[in-house]
Amino acid sequence: MRKSLLALGLAAACLSKNPSALAQSGTAQQTEASPNTTGLILSDKDIDLLRRDVRSHKKQLIAANLKLTDVEATKFWPIYDQYTQEQIKINDQKLALIKEYAANWGNITDTEADLYLRKSLAVDDAMSALRSKYVPIVRGALPGTKTATFFQLDRRINMMIDLQLASQIPLVQDQQ
């Protein structure tokens, strides 16, 4: 599990190595990553591939740590896939916010900082609402202990990814 967690962390860290990289990836539409004086440049295609890889590792981690019977697995995995599709939409919002922040970093006003904060909190609220929505759905497929275990795993993995991302994004006050 630690090996997979490390791979997830590395992929997440690569997703946002510096704000300029994301800003340029959103506008340049490069076909391959290429470094420049600002650091690592990731195209939207690169970011999409990294996100797919992270999702794959996440699913493998959950499968390895959530002990399901064949009957439970048959019920659970389609729900998990649907849950993941809804998470992708929220993570798309998070990525768009990071790209917007990166594009404006160095020139962020107090008003813009407040707006980024509100948008970030809205993304957090959306993720929490999604989990709340899916608790009874997952509970319909799994016993309570396995439902709780799934959400523990999901939350831990997402917190680790968020921590990796946050550690790579400079503070607003550091732009001066």
**143 Rama sector, left if φ>0, alpha if ψ -120 to 50, beta otherwise:** beta
The pLDDT tens digits for 50-75 are 778 888 899 999 999 999 999 999 99
Check the CA dihedral 12-13-19-23 and report its sign.
negative
**Cα–Cα distances in angstroms (integers) from residue 128 to residues 2, 16, 87, 90, in the given order:** 26, 23, 10, 10
**Cα–Cα distances in angstroms (integers) from residue 53 to residues 7, 20, 23, 60, 144, in the given order:** 9, 23, 22, 11, 29
Q: Which residues contact 153 (CB under 8 A, 6 or more apart)?
A: 61, 62, 65, 66
Q: What is the pTM of this model?
A: 0.73
Per DSSP, the three-state class of 39 is: strand
Six-digit token pair at 99?
Answer: 């790209």
The pLDDT tens digits for 14-42 are 443 344 444 433 333 333 333 333 445 56
What are the φ and ψ backbone dihedral angles of 29, each rounded to 5 degrees?
A: 50, 45
The pLDDT tens digits for 143-175 are 999 999 999 999 999 998 888 888 877 777 776
Q: Where are the domains of the chain?
A: 2-175
How many angstroms separate the CA atoms of 78 and 11, rounded? 25
Alpha helices per DSSP H over 16-143: 19-28, 44-65, 70-104, 110-139
Six-digit token pair at 120?
Answer: 């970030």
